[in-house]
Structure 1
Amino acid sequence: MPRVKALELYDDPHSEYSAKVKVALYAKGLVWTPVAVPCGSTRSPEFRAVNPLGKIPALWVTFENGHRELLIESEVIMEFLEDAFPDAPPLLPREPLARSKARLVSRFHDLYVEPALRRLYPQVAPSARDPRLVQEAVATFKERLAELAALLPPVAAAASPAAAAGAPDAAASGSSQDNIRGSSSSNAFALGALHPGGGLGLGDCAYPALLLYAELILPVLEPQTGPEPGPGPGSAAGTDAGLSSGAALGSGLVEAGEGLEGGRSMRAVYAAHPRLWAWRQALWGHAAVREVFKDLRPAAEEWVAMKLKQ
């Protein structure tokens, strides 16, 4: 295969699946350029002309021989990045069984967890809310999270932000691929349980966006009533002391150790599944996730606020 010369990503700052690919791009330290969707809509004839499915993310790959290909489907894009840039930090471990487990966790997002959360999106608007549907869909989503927690390998205590891998810098490394950025090899993360080589792996990339949206949406659909859940993450014996009730939704990044925006609903989920909480904290502390959250978090908050006015 010819060498890759450039990567251009059709993106939407609100999109979970775009965020998934961007986490992978940053984690691998790749140079890429965001490009606007023609006419601002994936349904426009101009976008359909280059992408008949009208879906994002979509990645233009330009090779040194001038050939261009458009890749669609987040999982396909991530597998291509893994194969096309062998000198970049890997998303998959080498051992076949470990690779299969990482792929399972990634596919579990696309096939089970995200579709369960997607059912709740139309219910955020009060004018369209169906209490019975909300109750059933929330219960299903929490079941999927419990199943996810069971799939995760044992995870160490949540890492602090200081333990995060260094953010990719703009200086090119000595790699054989021109569009690999220099990146830190420090990977003191709980995520190493999914990726024995350390650092962020394929099984991790989809979940920061999903958990962020869940923490924003579930408190809206399940107002806080009654006492807070018992001991769990955030208690004196937990890994984080920042789970004070009523934590405000801010416009900045959610740091590991800060207040959880999800309130009682997601607090209870994390308290019931400490492995999921430790994983969430490790994700929140990773430089690639923090970079993606710079656009995703305000976009997600804006979307929820807009829906609440409908």
Structure 2
Amino acid sequence: MTLVNGESMSSSPSHAEQPIRTLVTGANGFTGRYLVEKLLGRGHTVIETTAGHSEPDTPTRVRLDITSPEACRRVIESTRPDYIVHLAAISFVGHKDPLDFYRVNVIGTLNLLEACDAVGHTPRKLLIASSANVYGNVTSDAIDESFPLTPVNHYAASKAAMEAMVRTWFDRLPILIVRPFNYTGRGQATNFLVPKIVEHFARRAPSIELGNIDVARDFSDVRYVASAYEALLDSDVAGETVNVCTGTPYTLRNILATASELTGHELEVRINPAFVRQTDVKMLAGSPARLRSLVPGVESIPFIETLRWMLAA
């Protein structure tokens, strides 16, 4: 690593160097869009993979069916990226077909790792996104990476299975698993809770139907998560798992009250029993101690600022 005027230049290529090539799967998803913007800002050449079939491939945007071993080999062989960030996943807990979680989240990830091995390509690092949902229902407000995994739904179980599989590759590829806790921001689909709440306040709806508003989550801002991913990619750490969180839980009741204060709008909350899942995790708040020790320069964004930003969209 070189220093110029006291600043690290490790991920900003000089004119004499080839640009850093970073492959991002699921690049057109909620998180991917923010991460791609951040990587481009650091001088990376980003190769985005998408699951769509409507547009022809370009040098920086390629179609990839992650469930196809042949497609994964073709993309890795043709791009040979310096870094890989694997975000492609089925991430909505209420997704209708349970088998899709395992086809995409487990087998799709395995296909990507086997593709690297098959074409003889070892990137500098692979950052693979898991989820804090793997912890399940834990009676702690500061879950660290040593806690046991007790998933309670198919999404979480698929991510836990993926992690177990990925760890068998730690001695073959430089892999870092990230476990993001809940996060939100502009552009997240309204089938997720915070965007749904924001959308109702923004249009000053008279009422909203929700499930259990006393579940608590460690909500982060997607811009903070993207910054953490970029910094971890540039760090020396590999062969381990890192929580991405703030350590501060909020209940949906808290979020409703804060949004009401920010907008001056009162929203009637109607509890719909159909939205109350028996497998809902009641409290999910993480310890960011390991993350902060690895990338101390990445600062979290207060959640009230996230809500203010979303409401202003």
Q: TM-score, normalised by structure 1?
A: 0.32
Structure in which a larger fraction of residues adopt strand: 2
The answer to which structure, 1 or 2, has the higher relative contact order (CA under 8 A, 6+ apart) is 1
